[in-house]
Amino acid sequence: MKKINNLMNPFLIIFIGASLRLIPHIPNFAPITAMALFGGAYLNKKYALIVPIAAMVISDIFLGFNASTPMVYTSFFISGLIGLWLKNHKNLHSVISATLFSSIIFFILTNFNFWYATALYPKTFNGMIDAYVMAIPFFRNTVLGDLFYTGVFFGGYELVLHFFKSKKPAYSK
């Protein structure tokens, strides 16, 4: 089990998450929500809530910070809290539901902030609706990316666990 604990090193997860944000990718198709959910489900509470924010800060040093940054970070913090709930509810339905709920939270918070903090849309109800409507193509990418990376993180880790649990020693004394 020691080898599995090495795979769960929070700094390795931060490095992977930050690295995947830095390489060219489809807009909003990123691993941070998956990291937050995964961290909440498999790491202790301290790391579960710090890992996704640390990955964001590290990669945003290179990508840049903007008016949306605080709300983006807030959405990932909330995803970490959802991941903490997943710790005791790990099954396919709960993981998919948590992923979709996290995607929706990201969409609502970040697009409200984008409407509020930029001059692109009028500060009216119709302006806010326009901001959300224009963000729908990005939402599709968010959902697909979140589901993909959550599947990779949770599925990959569970496969590794299964492999190490079922592996028998080559010889016995």
Give a yes or no: residue 83 inside a domain. yes
Q: Give the pLDDT confidence score for residue 47 in this predicted structure.
A: 84
Ramachandran region, residue 64 (left: φ > 0; alpha: ψ -120 to 50; beta: rest): left
**Residue 37 pLDDT level (bands cut at 50, 70, 90):** very high
**Residue 2 pLDDT level (bands cut at 50, 70, 90):** low
Supply the DSSP symbol for 8. Answer: T
Dihedral Cα 106, 112, 118, 122, nearest 10 deg = 150
Q: pLDDT for 95-118, tens place per residue?
A: 999 999 999 999 999 999 999 999
Q: How many domains does the chain have?
A: 1
Give a yes or no: residue 24 inside a domain. yes
Give a yes or no: residue 173 inside a domain. no
Give a yes or no: residue 172 inside a domain. no
How far apart are alpha carbons 74 and 105 in whole angstroms?
Answer: 10
Q: pTM of the predicted model, to two decimals?
A: 0.86
Domain of 57, in residue numbers: 2-166
